[in-house]
Amino acid sequence: MNIAAVCGTFHKEEIERMLEYAQDEASIRDVKISHILWVPGSMEAPLALERILRNEEVDAAITLGIIERGETQHGLAMGQAVTKAIIELQIKHNKPIGLGIIGPGAEKHHIEPRLEPHARSAVNAVIEMSK
pLDDT for position 16 = 98
Phi, psi of 30 (to 5 degrees): 60, 40
Give the C-alpha separation, 118 to 115, whole Å: 6
Integer Rg of the chain from CA: 14
Whole-number Å distance between alpha carbons of 70 and 122: 25
Q: Which residues of the chain have pLDDT under 70?
A: none
Per the annotation, the verdict on 118 as an active-site residue is no
> Do 18 and 111 contact (CB within 8 A), yes or no?
no
Catalytic residue among 74, 93, 109, 110: 74
From CA 43, how far away is CA 83, in angstroms rounded?
Answer: 10
* Contact status, residue 3 vs residue 58, Cβ threshold 8 Å: yes
CA atoms of 113 and 126, how far apart (whole Å): 22
CA 5 – CA 22 distance, rounded (Å): 9
pLDDT given at position 99: 97
Q: Tell whether pTM > 0.85.
A: yes
- Give the total residue count for the chain: 131
Give the fold, CATH level 3, of 2-126: Rossmann fold (3.40.50)
pLDDT digits (tens, 9 = 90+) for 78-104: 899 999 999 999 999 999 999 999 998
